[in-house]
Structure 1
Amino acid sequence: MHSRNLAMGIMFFSQSIVGVLGNISLLSHYLGLYYNEHREKPVDLILIHLFTANCLIILSKGVPHTMVAFGMKLFFNEFICELFLYIQRLGRIMSMGTTCLLSIYQAITISPKNSFWKNLEFKSSNYIVFSISLGWVLYTTINFIFPVLVHIKSSHKNTTEKRDFAFCFTWGHDEIAESLYTALFVFPEFLLSVLIIWSSGSMVVILYRHKQNTQHIRSTQDSRRTSPESRATQSILILVSSYVVFYTISSILQGFIAVLYRPSWWLVNITAIVSLCFPTLGPFVVNLDFIVLKFCLLCITNIKKRVICL
């Protein structure tokens, strides 16, 4: 086995183990909270589906790349190849969608009572299940388009037009398939990214304004510590930064792979590694963001009680 394949195999294996264990542990935790303790909070439900989508990405991308790096490419036929690509696309769009839904819901939750968005809090709780279910059903159906197009195209193309992508291959360029992919996946991913940045920015502004309004209420001893608003702001910025950096780089690299007729071994594997970064590290960042923001809301409530007492 070539040393570079061994090193890449260890990298993919490590990412897959950390990512799967992290997502499954948090998934089990929030499933227990949601069903056993009968909390049925919308945030718990969003996190459950987010961790599920992340697991799909890791299992469908990290596992096959690990097997190929260790010389087990013969296990993949055309059906298995299309199945893994299908799960990858579904997991990626649902991971982005649930992250966006979580960010928007948090922004609505911490909005002031006189805000227009606060009126949507209870409505948004009622529509969380509908939104997530619609996303799964919609993209489970849409993803069937591409295997059908590939099958139709492969029946009319010469085998010399195959383009190898590690554990899988595609059949050259096709304008119809590329246009559909752009309309059904690339544009929604861009829109979801914009919504995440906008909702996260709104949370930062709300927290900053609240910090300015309550600055005179805090005692001198409390002011020496990092305020809960600052902690929540830092947590939100970490989440958004990691999301934007990893998914942007991943999208750019995947664009290069789509354009190049024969992408290099390094480009294919580095793209796969970057694509696995957010699903692997995301659970820890998202969970931290949720805990810190929850702590911030508790502190804000206590400060408001102190204002009423005064």
Structure 2
Amino acid sequence: MDLCITIKGVSFLLQTGLGILANLLVLMAYSHIACVEPRLQPVDQILAHLAFANLVLLLTRGVPQTMTVFGLRHLLDDPGCKVVIYAYRISRALSVCLTCMLSVFQAVTIAPVAGLLLARLKACLPQLVTPTFVVLWLLNMLVCIAAPLCSVAPRNGTVPPFTLNLGFCHVDFHNSLSYVINGAAVSGRDFTFVGLMLTSSVYILVLLHKHSKQVRGIRRSQGSSMEMRAAKTVVTLVVLYAVFFGIDNVIWIYMLTVTQVPAVVADMRVFFSSCYATLSPFLIISSNKKIKGRMVCATSDPKQQSGDDYAEKGNTK
């Protein structure tokens, strides 16, 4: 096997394997928390939903991509390609939307109450989580409908113009107009949500800066400290997404300018677009005391673990 192909295959294998394992651990931890607590906090609900979206993304894109790199062919037929591509597109879209939702909700949570409207918004924030999930699912199912309709299994011979060659499947848009319109719709949605998440993250950073000045020389409360720590985690997630989103879209814009996309370019885009799905659960695990507590519960003292859970519940009220 060629050295370049081996390196590429091992890279995809490590990225996909570690990402699937980490997202599964996050989902299992939140499932346990949901069983022992009355209900998940809004931020925890969003993080659990984000882990699920990232898990589906890696299963529908990383797994078949890895198998294709190692030489496996004819993995899917036409209906299989349509299902896999549709699931991948929706999960990728949910990843950016949920990160944006997380940033906006956290900004509202830590914002100082400056009026009756904001006070009411803070009070009803937990009730807005599920309706927002439904809206995001419906929106992305609509926006992503074009790609699966154009998805087919690879055919023998050359790749037609205006076709995204994913290796295990082809997305054939038939003409430049549909190719560009699909790209513009997806990019427009992504840039809108990324712009919103960056705006809310800048607002969070401003609040964190003001908070650090106020508590300088003053012993901060534990609840306030937890809110600020959660806000820092959200900002880190947004920065992580923004970096890989930028790389992904530079490659995507290049792909829109050519009629036939080289396979190596498509592989690079897949790798960088999947980096967030792989790295974000590790950041969630390392920064979330609830999840870390579940990770070490097998080796820790049950009484101490129970006490930690009780303290955590008290601080989130």
Tell me the TM-score normalized by structure 1. Answer: 0.80
> Aligned runs of 1:1-310 on 2, under 5 Å?
1-114=1-114, 117-148=118-149, 161=160, 163=163, 164-171=165-172, 172-183=174-185, 185-218=186-219, 235-288=233-286
Once residues 77 and 236 of structure 2 are traced to their aligned partners in structure 1, the CA distance between those partners, rounded to angstroms, is 40
Deviations 1:109-139 (A, max 9, x none): 1112336644411222211100102212332
Once residues 257 and 175 of structure 2 are traced to their aligned partners in structure 1, the CA distance between those partners, rounded to angstroms, is 9
Query: Secondary structure of 1:170's match?
Result: strand
CA change 1:232–1:50 in 2 (3 A) is closer
CA change 1:102–1:253 in 2 (3 A) is same
Q: Please report how far the alpha carbon of residue 270 of structure 1 lies from its aligned counterpart in structure 2 after TM superposition.
A: 1.4
CA change 1:245–1:199 in 2 (3 A) is same
- The AA in structure 1 aligned to 2:137 is W
RMSD: 3.0
Once residues 161 and 217 of structure 1 are traced to their aligned partners in structure 2, the CA distance between those partners, rounded to angstroms, is 66
- The AA in structure 2 aligned to 1:169 is H
Deviations 1:164-188 (A, max 9, x none): 33222233544135324423x2212
Once residues 17 and 270 of structure 1 are traced to their aligned partners in structure 2, the CA distance between those partners, rounded to angstroms, is 18
CA contact (8 A) 1:34 1:45 kept: no
Q: Please report how far the alpha carbon of residue 206 of structure 1 lies from its aligned counterpart in structure 2 after TM superposition.
A: 1.0
Point out where structure 2 has 5 or more consecutive residues left out of the alignment. Answer: 291-310
Q: What's 2:307 paired with?
A: none
Instruction: Please identify which structure carries the higher helix content.
Output: 1
Tell me the TM-score normalized by structure 2. Answer: 0.78
CA change 1:11–1:150 in 2 (3 A) is closer
Point out where structure 1 has 5 or more consecutive residues left out of the alignment. Answer: 152-157, 220-226, 293-297, 303-310
CA contact (8 A) 2:180 2:256 kept: no
- Identical counterparts, % of pairs: 27
- The AA in structure 2 aligned to 1:209 is K
Query: Secondary structure of 1:167's match?
Result: coil
Q: What's 1:223 paired with?
A: none
Once residues 118 and 248 of structure 1 are traced to their aligned partners in structure 2, the CA distance between those partners, rounded to angstroms, is 35
Once residues 25 and 229 of structure 1 are traced to their aligned partners in structure 2, the CA distance between those partners, rounded to angstroms, is 23
Once residues 27 and 111 of structure 2 are traced to their aligned partners in structure 1, the CA distance between those partners, rounded to angstroms, is 28
Once residues 230 and 45 of structure 1 are traced to their aligned partners in structure 2, the CA distance between those partners, rounded to angstroms, is 18
Once residues 148 and 234 of structure 1 are traced to their aligned partners in structure 2, the CA distance between those partners, rounded to angstroms, is 40
- The AA in structure 2 aligned to 1:262 is Q
- The total of aligned residue pairs comes to 281
Once residues 237 and 140 of structure 1 are traced to their aligned partners in structure 2, the CA distance between those partners, rounded to angstroms, is 27
Once residues 63 and 107 of structure 1 are traced to their aligned partners in structure 2, the CA distance between those partners, rounded to angstroms, is 35
